[in-house]
Amino acid sequence: MDRLGNLPPVKWALLHPRIAAWIVLSLGMVILLAIEARDVGLEAGQWIALIVATVGVAGLCIWIVSWEDVDDNAPVDPIDTGEISAVKIDDTATNTNTDS
């Protein structure tokens, strides 16, 4: 299994996981599109438009899925997560000077 990581395409995919996922998902979606729409009678321009739209949708899917990518080791600010709420203390309200 260690030798698999030495293959150039696998190395590239490990360095660029989102682009690699986009390519794989796009290929799968375009293949399914071609299988399902082969008997519809589309013209060349329509095929090109469908393929471009399909690749774009695959890219959007990978982008949306990547929103969940969070580094577990990254420091998290407790105020940003809502665990601690920032409270502003007004110093003038606590001043009870009665020098009348």
Tell me the pLDDT tens digit for each residue of 31-44. 999 999 999 999 99
Identify whether 31 is part of a domain.
Answer: yes
Given a cut of 60, is residue 100 above it in pLDDT?
Answer: no
- State which residues form the domain around 24: 3-81
Phi-psi bin for 16: left (phi > 0), alpha (psi -120 to 50), beta?
beta
Residue bearing the bigger pLDDT, 20 or 99? 20
Identify whether 87 is part of a domain.
Answer: no
Question: Does the pTM of the predicted model rise above 0.75?
Answer: no
**DSSP secondary structure of 35-64:** HHSTTS---HHHHHHHHHHHHHHHHHHHHH
Which residue type, as a one-letter code, is found at position 64? I
Identify whether 66 is part of a domain.
Answer: yes
Identify whether 93 is part of a domain.
Answer: no
Q: How many domains, in total, are found in the chain? A: 1
Q: Which of 39, 69, 37, 68 is nearest to 53 (CA)?
A: 37
Task: Look at residue 3 in the predicted model and tell me its pLDDT.
Answer: 80
What are the pLDDT digits (tens) for 50-86?
A: 999 999 999 999 999 988 876 656 666 655 666 666 5
